């Protein structure tokens, strides 16, 4: 089996869809020799920011001298982005070797009462196996969906991190912040510390409730604003084992931050850009300091170096100039809101030309209401995925919003037959001082590579 064969085999399991619950996956891992129990882990979930926070924690640990396995999703340009060893993509050879070893176990399990494992489960198992083969010192794992029933939730982490809680995947996780917080708090393990960056009062209360039930020390991350906290959040902070606070610092990337924990403080300059990276950085630093309290040798200089070296594709990523092209996988309302806030703060441009595609079950109207006000031209495109919204649906959502707010209307709404057509249309429309934004889905962002290679 070569790399291409391995990728095709993994993709063939997509027919299974998402099947939450871990009895089947635990049975599979048992047959694999339980590789996930062979090294310590850090576990990260959240509605937005979990990928950045996972990347930041991994970079900090590498800067401290540890050999780190990183599991992240989704990938943007290359499936191997999901499994990093020492900060590098898993080799094609190790990827193919792992799938070849896993495949007969998958097929044998399918003939039992457990049935067929899913595409995400085999990716997760491959990461666990690869990290064992590589002899990592520690693995940093991002949850795929939710937390409590996610395939990654078979570990007992050194530290758990819940970066944020927003209304996304409500069809699977529940309709309220409290419901979603309960599902994500499922990664909290007995007596293991948990970092919470949730600021919605009901979400923060739910996380605190689960932490108490698990006997897990809770550490709250808060932005210093000068305004009083809502009373429920204030109560959570008062009862927490500790509070990490952070303050924005001036910087051209709009992401520099000072983090405080008791009498300790440190100013940090992330490579990752955007105001929201301040919160992600504070959550990552909190996790690193708790690891330090658990005996890991992580110096302040490792914190500084790791934060400055962390890289992640598809998050306010500039891929071209004149016109400037920015890729960002904002795929839900909260992510779209922070993107709309960030763009005019970070970049100077005459017009914003947006290429937008989205997957179900995400609702386009709630996301577009943040992005349409800042766009001059919008090109709607289908995404190369079975769950894509049609351009007709996207156009109808935009037109309904414009009908309610005609004074904020973009000048032009266009449609494209596919992403490459959309990129070509956007670039043909753009002048050298315009900005082209590709957003709405990481799957759409990932298609940019084909445009670049074609050019």
Domains of the chain in sequence order: 3-309 (3.40.1190.10), 317-454 (3.90.190.20)
Per-residue pLDDT tens digits for 169-200: 776 788 899 999 999 999 999 999 999 999 99
Q: What ranges in 13-146 are assigned the alpha helix state H?
A: 23-32, 50-63, 92-110, 119-134
Question: Which pLDDT value is given to residue 125?
Answer: 98
Among the listed residues 403, 394, 343, the one whose alpha carbon sits nearest the alpha carbon of residue 368: 394
Per-residue pLDDT tens digits for 363-401: 899 999 999 999 999 999 999 988 999 999 999 999 998
Please state the length of the chain: 455
Confidence of residue 19 (pLDDT cuts 50, 70, 90): low
Mean pLDDT computed over 35-39: 98
Question: Which pLDDT value is given to residue 356?
Answer: 98
Question: Which pLDDT value is given to residue 408?
Answer: 67
Question: Which pLDDT value is given to residue 369?
Answer: 92
Confidence of residue 21 (pLDDT cuts 50, 70, 90): low
Beta bridge partners of 236: none
Per-residue pLDDT tens digits for 126-171: 999 999 999 999 999 999 988 899 999 999 999 999 999 988 777 6
What's the DSSP call for residue 66? -
* The two structure tokens encoding residue 41: 């882990």
HSE-up of 409 (CA within 13 Å, CB side)? 14
Question: Model-level pTM greater than 0.85?
Answer: yes
> Distance of alpha carbon 181 from its chain centroid, rounded?
16
């Amino acid at each position: 089996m070569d790399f291409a064969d391995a990728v095709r085999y993994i993709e063939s399991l997509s027919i299974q869809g998402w099947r939450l619950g871990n009895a089947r996956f635990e049975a599979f891992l048992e047959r694999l020799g339980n590789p996930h129990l062979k090294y310590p882990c850090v576990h990260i979930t959240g509605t937005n920011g979990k990928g950045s926070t996972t990347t930041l924690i991994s970079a900090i640990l590498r800067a401290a001298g540890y050999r780190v396995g990183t599991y992240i999703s989704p990938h943007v340009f290359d499936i191997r982005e999901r499994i990093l060893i020492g900060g590098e993509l898993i080799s094609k050879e190790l990827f193919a070797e792992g799938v070849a070893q896993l495949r007969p176990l998958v097929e044998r399990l399918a003939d039992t009462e457990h049935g067929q494992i899913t595409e995400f489960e085999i990716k997760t198992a491959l990461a666990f196996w690869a990290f064992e083969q590589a002899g990592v010192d520690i693995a940093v794992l991002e949850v795929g969906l939710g937390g409590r029933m996610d395939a990654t939730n078979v570990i007992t982490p050194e530290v758990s991190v819940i970066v944020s809680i927003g209304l996304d995947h409500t069809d699977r996780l529940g309709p309220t912040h409290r419901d979603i917080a309960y599902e994500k708090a499922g990664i909290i393990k007995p007596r293991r510390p948990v970092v919470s960056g949730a600021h919605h009062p009901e979400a923060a209360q739910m996380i605190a409730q689960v932490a108490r039930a698990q006997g897990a020390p809770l550490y709250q991350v808060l932005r210093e604003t000068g305004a009083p906290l809502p009373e429920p959040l204030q109560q959570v902070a008062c009862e927490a084992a500790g509070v990490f606070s952070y303050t924005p610092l001036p910087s051209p990337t709009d992401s520099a931050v000072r983090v405080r924990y008791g009498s300790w403080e440190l100013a940090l300059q992330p490579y990752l850009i955007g105001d929201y990276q301040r919160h992600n950085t504070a959550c990552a630093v909190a996790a690193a300091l708790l690891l330090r309290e658990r005996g890991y040798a992580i110096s302040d200089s490792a914190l500084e170096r790791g934060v400055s070296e962390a890289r992640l594709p598809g998050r306010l990523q500039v891929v071209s100039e004149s016109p400037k092209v920015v890729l960002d996988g904002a795929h839900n309302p909260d992510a779209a809101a922070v993107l709309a806030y960030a763009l005019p703060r970070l970049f100077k441009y005459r017009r914003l030309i947006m290429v937008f595609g989205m997957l179900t079950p995400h609702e386009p109207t709630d996301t577009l209401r943040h992005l349409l006000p800042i766009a001059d031209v919008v090109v709607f495109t289908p995404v190369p995925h079975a769950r894509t919204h049609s351009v007709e649906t996207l156009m109808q959502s935009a037109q309904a919003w414009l009908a309610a707010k005609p004074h904020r209307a973009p000048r032009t709404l266009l449609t494209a037959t596919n992403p490459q057509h959309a990129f070509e249309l956007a670039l043909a429309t753009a002048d050298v001082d315009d900005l082209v934004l590709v957003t709405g889905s990481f799957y759409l962002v990932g298609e940019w590579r084909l445009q670049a290679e074609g050019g």
